[in-house]
Amino acid sequence: MMKYPRIIGWSVVIGMWSITSCALDQMKNRNIVETSNTAEDMIEWIEHDLEAGKIDSSTADTYIDNLEGIIIDLGVTR
């Protein structure tokens, strides 16, 4: 019979919580980066559409402002 089963049990629980917390932080950071990269790509596509005459400058400016706002809200600097 083990002398300290509760200490070992709680150590395992705390260890698993720590690992899970780190993994969730990494997933959150990855999602932020992916969202920011997608918004950057969309800005480029809008700029190309503007140059090609597919959209007007007012619409392009509105879309770009909104996408830049999303990037700022994510805490990513351009």
The DSSP secondary structure of 20-48, one letter per residue, reads HHHHHHHHHHHHHHHHHHHHHHHHHHHHH
Place of tokens 């597919």: 54
Q: What pLDDT is stored for residue 33 in this prediction?
A: 87
40-52 tens-digit pLDDT: 999 999 999 999 9
Q: What pLDDT is stored for residue 1 in this prediction?
A: 53
23-77 tens-digit pLDDT: 877 878 888 888 999 999 999 999 999 999 999 999 999 999 999 999 999 887 6
